[in-house]
Amino acid sequence: MKRYGQDKIWPFAEGGEGTIGVVTAVATLFLLLHRRFNNGFTKTLFLLSSGIWLLILYFFRDPNRQTDAKPGLVVSPADGEIVAIIRERENRYLNADTIRISIFLSVTNVHVQRSPLNGRVTLVDHQPGKFLQAFRPEA
């Protein structure tokens, strides 16, 4: 049984620290303001910021995963829904015929990508996105 994320101290996705920190600071500030002034306005600010804080924590969660690690087994790298399985020619890196599997992640899915099979990473290349709607094929 292969376990993912068991050695983590921080149970949230890498890269979410800044957002979590800012929202935590804002919610804490509104809590302190509410404790100082104790009125409906500061209470509303605190409750709204606390709700946003909970949503942010939920969005950036990175739960432990378990899977049967067997030779030849391919496991889904992400939560979500498979929206396309397409045979296509990949000419940029592999220069070979490939199968592309597209997975749509809704806002309620865990937004962490894991390795779907054993292997070795030979290239890491960031491609800046255009922030297109995730359900569009060109995204």
Model confidence over 34-78: pLDDT tens digits?
999 999 999 999 999 999 999 999 999 998 888 777 787 888 889
pTM of the model: 0.75
The whole-number pLDDT of residue 4 equals: 52
Does residue 51 fall inside a structural domain? Answer: yes
| Percent above pLDDT 90 for the chain | 47
User: Buried b vs exposed e over 33-61: b needs ≥16 C-beta within 10 Å?
Assistant: bbeeeeeeebeebbeebbeebeebbebbe
Model confidence over 20-44: pLDDT tens digits?
999 999 999 999 999 999 999 999 9
Is 80 found in the same domain as 22? no
What is the widest separation between alpha-carbon atoms in the chain? Answer: 66
Is 88 found in the same domain as 33? no
Number of domains composing the chain: 2
| Percent above pLDDT 70 for the chain | 94
Is 55 found in the same domain as 78? no
Q: What is the 3-state secondary structure (H, E, C) of 33-45?
A: HHHHHCCHHHHHH
Q: Which amino acid is at 117?
A: L
| DSSP symbol at 92 | T
pLDDT at 2 over 60: no
Note down the domain range covering 82: 71-139
- Tokens at 83, concatenated: 């929206």
Is 128 found in the same domain as 87? yes
Greater model confidence, 40 or 116: 40
Does residue 12 fall inside a structural domain? Answer: no
Please, are residues 35 and 28 in contact by the beta-carbon 8 Å criterion? no
Please, are residues 19 and 56 in contact by the beta-carbon 8 Å criterion? yes
Is 55 found in the same domain as 84? no
